[in-house]
Structure 1
Amino acid sequence: MRLPGARRAPRALLALAGVLATGLAAGQTAIAIGGALRLDNDEVWQRIVDEAGGQGAHIAVFATAAGNPERSAAYIAAALARRGAVADVIPVAPKLPNSDPAARVGDPALIDTVRRARGVFFSGGSQEYIVDTLMPGGQETPLLRAVREVFAKGGVVAGTSAGAAIMSRSMFRDAPDNHMVLKGVWREGKEFDRGLGFVPPQLFVDQHFLKRGRIGRILPAMRALGYPLGLGVEENSAIVVKGDQVEVIGGKGAVLVDLREARSDARLPAFNLQGVRLSYLDRGDRLDLGTGAVTPSARKLAEPRIDPAAPDFKPYYRNEPYYLDMLGDQTLLNVMARLIESAAPELRGLAFRARPRAEDPAPSLGFEFRLYKGPGTVGWYYGGQGSEEYTVLNVRLDVLPVRVASPLFTPLEPGAAEGVTAAKPPEAATSAR
């Protein structure tokens, strides 16, 4: 049985590539933050202010996505003011009490406030609120056009969590379950929708990436929507995008997903991919989207390169663990980092739901992730100043559908464990003391 939506999404979004890509000049800056941005993350907050012009720069704050817009806007405004900016809160949000967002998106005073700003900041929350408010039915409102004017004049547009999701020309709308997306639950206007398109049109952006195991949803999304490149940004971290140039800043990093050489087996009845290239870029690393070249941070370049193909390579790890939750918190990065320092040519793991939901279209369907070394698989490591940073380039990934037993296991009953020998506890040692 072929799962619904496991191959391709409706073509409506495929036509968006040229609709929202509005001339990304070198001076235009988009900053996508992976969510959970800490108030003390000076590097990210200060970079937003500096890109807007520094001390005294006006930044329009949109808490449109927030469940509590007043509280969210106040938090963001305080963080920006602490770094020298002037935050102008734009009170346009579905959850704002006694507010009519449909009327306010045409308010001349608010439009003028945005136009005079040098930067725009979108809060976290529900990204569908941003799109439905500023671009209802795909039609740009005057307030969104004012945001685009700021960007077109060389200003910065930044966003965290939901505010990062809107950065590409299409986005996840409400797809919290990675397993369901892998299984083909993939509907326009439900799990995915159009974004606002502040990054180059070939790039898909996702957030909370390692924390929430979102490699499981970005792969089907990119394949269905025709994206060759994706960047999954981790929490409390950000990517700074200027044209084709990307810099990673903040607390951690981002995963680069490259599907340009990936292929699928049409004979298989569920989602599958072979030959995906994965790279992990930590803070300070830079990426050229045009050439694909990655430049690690200076502190990592000062350390020896980790090259598993080199004659003098000395692996740090010898065993080959099998991972039972490939979509777990930080699992993807842990596997990539271990592989680069391992004697093993590959590492494998499963993505499956031990207790399928009632609405699950295929309860026994799981996916095996095979990460392996290939040409150009190299890395760098820096462990100074109490930090642990990796750059890992060109790890290959295959994702294949598998059938998982349900239930996965059953308890052993007394006297019924034929063929199973339990380990006996060691006898207590006598002490001479």
Structure 2
Amino acid sequence: MKITVLLPKNYFKIILIFVLFLFSTSIQAQNPKGKLFIIGGGNRSDALMTQLISISDLEKKDFVVVLPMSSEEPDSAYIYFKEQFQKLTPHPIIMMNFDKNTANNKTLTDSLQKAKLIFISGGDQTRFMNVVYNTPIYTAIHKAYQNGSTIAGTSAGAAVMSEKMITGNQKLEKEYSGTFDNIRYDNLETTEGLGLITNAIIDQHFLKRSRYNRLISAMVEFPNLTGIGIDESTAIIVHNNEIEVAGESEVIVLKNPKGVQKTKNNLISIKGLDMSIYNAGQKFKVK
């Protein structure tokens, strides 16, 4: 018995439109509408903060949320930010100091998602992620970013932006040090960050604290990522894959380590490594 299936005349047109819709949706998911404003720590000049306000496109109804969970003194971190920011913009500035008890509060996380500008304070990036990771807070930040909000952070608030987050600790040393004394493999401790940047790894206070050894170590551990070292009083503005530098100092970019060899005592050699230096107004792309 032969069965004939009659398809509508516009069947293939419908299928094509559906496929294009799925492709378009996929592209939109990969290209958030929002921006990142990532500060390397240190002094935040009024000029730098004015630039943050400008790119955030704040409208009359919009408000700013400060997430101070990185800080040992969250109230002080919020007050310091507010005192500077309220001179520059009339928009409400709200602190949301989440903890394990409030991380699942839907009213609070819904409000966070609606903020047009979210600022993450300095302190300890691991402390921040211990509160945020795998919670509705994490989801709210991502949704805000997808929908057009600007996510900003300084120091620890910069480190949390990347998927692979530098904690600052060394696996081969018991004592914490602000910089690494040498370059060794399997020494850099990383954990999961916010993942707002998936193709780069961020380091902060970069020139001020001479963190070259640390970021080079990251390039050995994650050779497919781009290493971005942001100095103090300096920021990068990220919109999709294009990055612009703002502020007073420089940004160091490392990528494409070649001929990496690991030897005894965890030492390494690298035959080639691309390095670029950028300052305010200059742009580069991360693939």
**Which TM-score tier does this pair reach, normalised by the shorter chain?**
0.7 to 0.9
Q: 1: CA distance between counterparts of 2:257 and 2:180?
A: 24
1:254 corresponds in structure 2 to 251
Q: Secondary structure at the match of 1:82?
A: coil
Structure 2 Cα separation of the partners of residues 168 and 277 of structure 1:
20
**SS across alignment from 2:100:** helix
Query: Which of 142, 146, 151 does residue 140 from structure 2 map onto?
Result: 146
Contact 1:168 1:195 in 2 (8 A): yes
Q: Which amino acid aligns with 1:59?
A: V
Compare relative contact order (CA 8 Å, sep 6+) and give the higher one, 1 or 2: 2
Instruction: Please name the residue that 2:33 is paired with.
Output: 27
Specify which of 56, 63, 69 is matched with residue 58 of structure 1.
63
What amino acid is aligned across from residue 52 of structure 1 in structure 2?
S
**SS of residue in 2 equivalent to 1:67:** coil
1:309-348 Cα shifts (integer Å, max 9, x gaps) = xxxxxxxxxxxxxxxxxxxxxxxxxxxxxxxxxxxxxxxx
Cα deviation, residue 181, structure 1 = 6.5
Cα deviation per residue 1:380-429 (whole Å; 9 max; x = unaligned)? xxxxxxxxxxxxxxxxxxxxxxxxxxxxxxxxxxxxxxxxxxxxxxxxxx
TM-score, normalization: structure 1?
Answer: 0.54
The question of 1:186 aligning with 2:187 is answered: yes
Call closer, same or farther: CA 1:77–1:268 in 2, change over 3 Å.
Answer: same
Q: How do 1:17-416 residues align onto structure 2 when only pairs under 5 Å count?
A: 23-25=29-31, 27-38=33-44, 41-54=45-58, 56=60, 57-84=62-89, 85-92=91-98, 101-135=99-133, 140-175=134-169, 176-177=176-177, 178-179=179-180, 182-184=183-185, 186=187, 191-199=189-197, 201-258=198-255, 260-266=256-262, 270-290=267-287
Indicate conservation of the 8 Å contact 2:220/2:260, yes or no. no
Q: CA RMSD in A?
A: 2.0
**For 2:281, what is the secondary structure of its paired residue?**
coil
- Which string of whole-angstrom CA distances, capped at 9 and with x for unpartnered residues, describes residues 275-310 of structure 1? 1111110111111224xxxxxxxxxxxxxxxxxxxx
Deviation, structure 1 residue 86: 2.1
Q: Deviations over 1:20-41 (max 9, x none)?
A: xx94426321111000133xx1
The change in CA–CA distance for 1:91 and 1:267 in structure 2 (over 3 A counts) is closer
- Give the direction of change, closer, same or farther, for the CA distance of 1:192–1:228 in structure 2 (3 Å limit): closer
Contact 1:168/1:203 (CA < 8 Å) preserved in 2? Answer: yes
> Which amino acid in structure 2 is aligned with residue 172 of structure 1?
I
- Check 1:25–1:43 CA distance in 2 against 1; reply closer, same or farther (3 A cut): farther
What residue ranges of structure 1 are gaps of 5+ in the alignment?
1-21, 93-100, 291-433
Name the CA shift for 1:44/1:227 in 2 (closer, same or farther; >3 Å): farther
> Are 2:257 and 2:270, in contact at CA under 8 Å, matched by a contact in 1?
no
Once the two structures are aligned, what percentage of the paired residues are identical?
A: 23
Compared CA separation, residues 266 and 242, structure 1 to 2 (3 A): same
Change (3 A) 1:114 1:26: closer
CA distance in 2, matches of 1:76, 1:31: 15
The alpha-carbon deviation at position 108 of structure 1 amounts to 2.5
Structure with larger Rg: 1
Count of residue pairs brought into register by the alignment:
250
Residue 180 of structure 1: how far off its partner (Å): 5.5
Deviation at 1:58, TM superposition (A): 1.1
- Contact 1:80–1:86 (CA under 8 A) maintained in structure 2: no
